[in-house]
Amino acid sequence: MGKSAGKPASPRRPFPARSKYGAKKTEIDGIIFDSKKEAERWLFLRGREAAGEINCLERQLSFVFTHNHVKICTYRCDFAYFDLIEKRRVYEDVKGFRTPLYRLKLKMLHAFYPMVLLREV
Protein backbone atom coordinates (compact mmCIF):
# COMPACT_ATOMS: atom_id res chain seq x y z
CA MET A 1 0.00 0.00 0.00
CA GLY A 2 1.16 3.54 -0.70
CA LYS A 3 1.89 6.21 1.91
CA SER A 4 -1.38 8.02 1.39
CA ALA A 5 -3.62 4.99 1.84
CA GLY A 6 -6.23 5.67 4.47
CA LYS A 7 -5.20 9.32 4.93
CA PRO A 8 -6.83 12.23 3.13
CA ALA A 9 -4.48 14.36 1.10
CA SER A 10 -3.49 17.46 3.04
CA PRO A 11 -4.47 20.70 1.33
CA ARG A 12 -1.55 22.79 0.14
CA ARG A 13 -1.28 26.16 1.83
CA PRO A 14 -0.59 29.05 -0.51
CA PHE A 15 2.53 30.94 0.46
CA PRO A 16 3.26 34.43 -0.83
CA ALA A 17 5.92 34.52 -3.49
CA ARG A 18 9.31 35.08 -1.89
CA SER A 19 11.59 37.77 -3.23
CA LYS A 20 14.67 36.51 -5.03
CA TYR A 21 16.90 38.41 -2.60
CA GLY A 22 14.79 37.97 0.55
CA ALA A 23 13.20 41.45 0.62
CA LYS A 24 9.77 41.62 2.24
CA LYS A 25 7.20 44.09 0.96
CA THR A 26 6.18 46.52 3.70
CA GLU A 27 3.21 48.89 3.86
CA ILE A 28 3.37 52.27 5.57
CA ASP A 29 0.67 54.94 5.29
CA GLY A 30 -0.98 53.00 2.48
CA ILE A 31 2.27 52.93 0.46
CA ILE A 32 3.74 49.52 -0.39
CA PHE A 33 7.54 49.48 -0.37
CA ASP A 34 9.67 46.76 -1.96
CA SER A 35 11.53 46.11 1.28
CA LYS A 36 11.49 46.84 4.99
CA LYS A 37 14.75 48.75 4.57
CA GLU A 38 13.17 51.02 1.94
CA ALA A 39 10.13 51.64 4.19
CA GLU A 40 12.41 52.55 7.10
CA ARG A 41 14.33 54.96 4.89
CA TRP A 42 11.03 56.60 3.88
CA LEU A 43 10.17 57.18 7.54
CA PHE A 44 13.65 58.62 8.16
CA LEU A 45 13.35 61.01 5.20
CA ARG A 46 9.83 62.05 6.27
CA GLY A 47 11.35 62.91 9.67
CA ARG A 48 14.04 65.02 8.00
CA GLU A 49 11.35 66.75 5.96
CA ALA A 50 9.31 67.50 9.11
CA ALA A 51 12.48 68.88 10.74
CA GLY A 52 13.00 71.27 7.82
CA GLU A 53 16.27 69.67 6.63
CA ILE A 54 14.90 68.55 3.25
CA ASN A 55 11.92 69.36 1.04
CA CYS A 56 10.27 68.23 -2.20
CA LEU A 57 10.48 64.56 -1.16
CA GLU A 58 9.42 62.24 -3.98
CA ARG A 59 9.29 58.49 -4.55
CA GLN A 60 10.05 56.40 -7.64
CA LEU A 61 11.52 59.09 -9.89
CA SER A 62 12.34 57.74 -13.36
CA PHE A 63 15.26 58.42 -15.67
CA VAL A 64 14.78 57.36 -19.29
CA PHE A 65 17.78 56.32 -21.37
CA THR A 66 17.37 56.97 -25.09
CA HIS A 67 19.73 56.92 -28.04
CA ASN A 68 18.79 58.37 -31.45
CA HIS A 69 15.21 58.79 -30.18
CA VAL A 70 14.99 55.09 -29.27
CA LYS A 71 14.21 54.18 -25.69
CA ILE A 72 16.77 51.76 -24.29
CA CYS A 73 15.47 51.35 -20.74
CA THR A 74 14.43 53.21 -17.61
CA TYR A 75 16.09 53.56 -14.22
CA ARG A 76 13.89 54.36 -11.24
CA CYS A 77 15.43 55.66 -8.02
CA ASP A 78 13.67 55.07 -4.72
CA PHE A 79 13.69 58.66 -3.41
CA ALA A 80 14.51 62.18 -4.54
CA TYR A 81 14.58 65.37 -2.46
CA PHE A 82 16.23 68.76 -2.13
CA ASP A 83 18.70 68.83 0.77
CA LEU A 84 18.44 72.28 2.36
CA ILE A 85 21.70 71.81 4.28
CA GLU A 86 23.78 70.74 1.26
CA LYS A 87 21.75 73.00 -1.06
CA ARG A 88 21.42 70.35 -3.77
CA ARG A 89 19.04 67.81 -5.25
CA VAL A 90 19.71 64.28 -4.02
CA TYR A 91 18.56 60.97 -5.50
CA GLU A 92 18.66 57.83 -3.39
CA ASP A 93 18.48 54.12 -3.99
CA VAL A 94 18.04 51.74 -1.08
CA LYS A 95 20.15 48.71 -1.88
CA GLY A 96 20.40 45.36 -0.21
CA PHE A 97 22.11 43.69 -3.16
CA ARG A 98 23.77 45.20 -6.23
CA THR A 99 22.58 43.11 -9.18
CA PRO A 100 24.40 43.12 -12.52
CA LEU A 101 21.43 44.95 -14.08
CA TYR A 102 21.55 47.61 -11.36
CA ARG A 103 25.30 48.11 -11.92
CA LEU A 104 24.71 48.52 -15.66
CA LYS A 105 21.91 51.05 -15.13
CA LEU A 106 24.09 52.94 -12.65
CA LYS A 107 26.82 53.30 -15.29
CA MET A 108 24.20 54.47 -17.78
CA LEU A 109 22.85 56.96 -15.26
CA HIS A 110 26.31 58.49 -14.83
CA ALA A 111 26.82 58.61 -18.61
CA PHE A 112 23.38 60.02 -19.54
CA TYR A 113 22.86 62.23 -16.46
CA PRO A 114 26.34 63.21 -15.19
CA MET A 115 25.01 65.96 -12.89
CA VAL A 116 22.80 63.56 -10.90
CA LEU A 117 24.02 62.84 -7.37
CA LEU A 118 22.88 59.29 -6.55
CA ARG A 119 23.38 57.95 -3.05
CA GLU A 120 23.10 54.29 -2.23
CA VAL A 121 21.69 53.67 1.21
pLDDT digits (tens, 9 = 90+) for 24-79: 999 998 999 999 999 999 999 999 999 999 999 999 999 999 999 999 999 999 99
On whether the CB atoms of residues 52 and 84 are closer than 8 A, the answer is: yes
On whether the CB atoms of residues 48 and 55 are closer than 8 A, the answer is: no
Tell me the whole-structure pTM to 2 decimals.
Answer: 0.78
The mean pLDDT of the chain is 89
